[in-house]
Amino acid sequence: RTEVGVAVALKTVVQPLVAFLVAGPLLGLPDHQVLAVVLCSALPTAQNAYLYAREYGLDTGLARHCVVASTVVSMGTLSFGTWVLGPSR
């Protein structure tokens, strides 16, 4: 459970924050492009993670749990990111 929690937190919280810092202050992109970059980076873990784990004989349980948990968590983080960075900002 700890591994899944860390992986999901990195994917759905840390990665979008890093994307925001790079796209906004560092690259100076316009607001609508920053929103696009942040939302794309906040998407849940792709099914490919599970497929690659299965193909290479790795821990499919971890990949499966990360995909499901990040999908559930991303509903909140994507909504929050849109609310904070959206056009009404």
Neighbours of 59 (CB within 10 A): 11
Q: What is the pLDDT of residue 89?
A: 58
Which residue type, as a one-letter code, is found at position 73? V
- Count of structural domains within the chain: 1
pLDDT single digits (tens) 17-68: 999 999 999 999 999 999 999 999 999 999 999 999 999 999 899 999 999 9
Residue 20 is predicted with a pLDDT of 96
Nearest to 65 by CA among 50, 76, 78, 79: 50
Note down the domain range covering 73.
Answer: 2-85
Give the Cα separation of 39 and 12 in Å (integer).
10
Is residue 1 predicted with pLDDT exceeding 90? no
User: Quick one: pLDDT at residue 86?
Assistant: 86
Q: What's the length of the chain? A: 89
CB 43 within 8 A of CB 11: no
Residue 88 has pLDDT above 90, yes or no: no
